[in-house]
Structure 1
Amino acid sequence: MAWFYLVLAGLLEIVWAVAMKQSAGFTRPLPTAVMVVGMVASFWLLAVAMRTLPLGTSYTVWVGIGAVGAFLLGIVLFGEPATPARVTAAALILAGIITMKLAS
């Protein structure tokens, strides 16, 4: 169950990162509220997952899910570039997440 909470926390990290971008520097109330709720929920689920999982594994996987997800949504939603170097970097982060899971 801890892994479920951790993955959900990572997905919520993506939500709050995108909402932060859409908040336009906290000038738009709805995206700002979504960001705050997503952030609190993400941190709470991370803390719940850390009751069972090691700190290093939990934090690395959480950050990795958020980073790769935000990278992908940046490309899809905001037209950010998908250069070979950026895609390679995201693939390496994903490989690290998988390796952490297998090593735990």
Structure 2
Amino acid sequence: MAWILLIAAGLLEVVWAFTMKMSEGFTRPLYAAITLVAVVASFVMLAWAMRSLPLGTAYPLWTGIGAVGSFLAGWWWLGESASPLRIAAAVFIVAGLVMMKLAP
């Protein structure tokens, strides 16, 4: 259950980062509201997951899901650059997350 919560928290991090961008500095109320709800929900789920997962695993995975997911959302929906260097950086983040999960 902790892993499901952690993944959901990471996905919500993508939601709040994306909607924060769409809120244009919190000047668009709907996007601002979604951002705030997603931030709180993401933190709560992360906290629940950390009751049974180590900090050194849970936090890096949460931020990594958010970082790579935000990169993909920016590229897919906002037309942001997906240059080879940025793609390589995302691959390195994912590789680091896999190593973090597999490490004893």
Quickly name the TM-score band, shorter chain normalised.
over 0.9
Counterpart code for 1:73 = A
* Residues 21-100 of structure 1 mapped to structure 2, 5 A cutoff: 21-100=21-100
Aligned residues: 104
Residue identity over aligned pairs, in percent, reads: 60
Q: CA shift at 1:47, angstroms? A: 0.2
Identify the residue that residue 13 of structure 2 maps to in structure 1: 13
**CA distance in 1 between partners of 2:100 and 2:4 (Å):** 15
SS in 2 for 1:27: coil
RMSD: 0.8
**CA distance in 1 between partners of 2:45 and 2:55 (Å):** 13
Q: CA shift at 1:64, angstroms? A: 0.1
Q: Report the TM-score, using the length of structure 2 for normalisation.
A: 0.97
Structure 1 unmatched ranges of 5 or more: none
Counterpart code for 1:64 = G
**CA distance in 2 between partners of 1:9 and 1:19 (Å):** 15
Q: CA shift at 1:56, angstroms? A: 1.3
Counterpart code for 1:74 = G
Runs of 4+ in 1 over 4 A off after TM superposition: none
Q: CA shift at 1:103, angstroms? A: 2.1
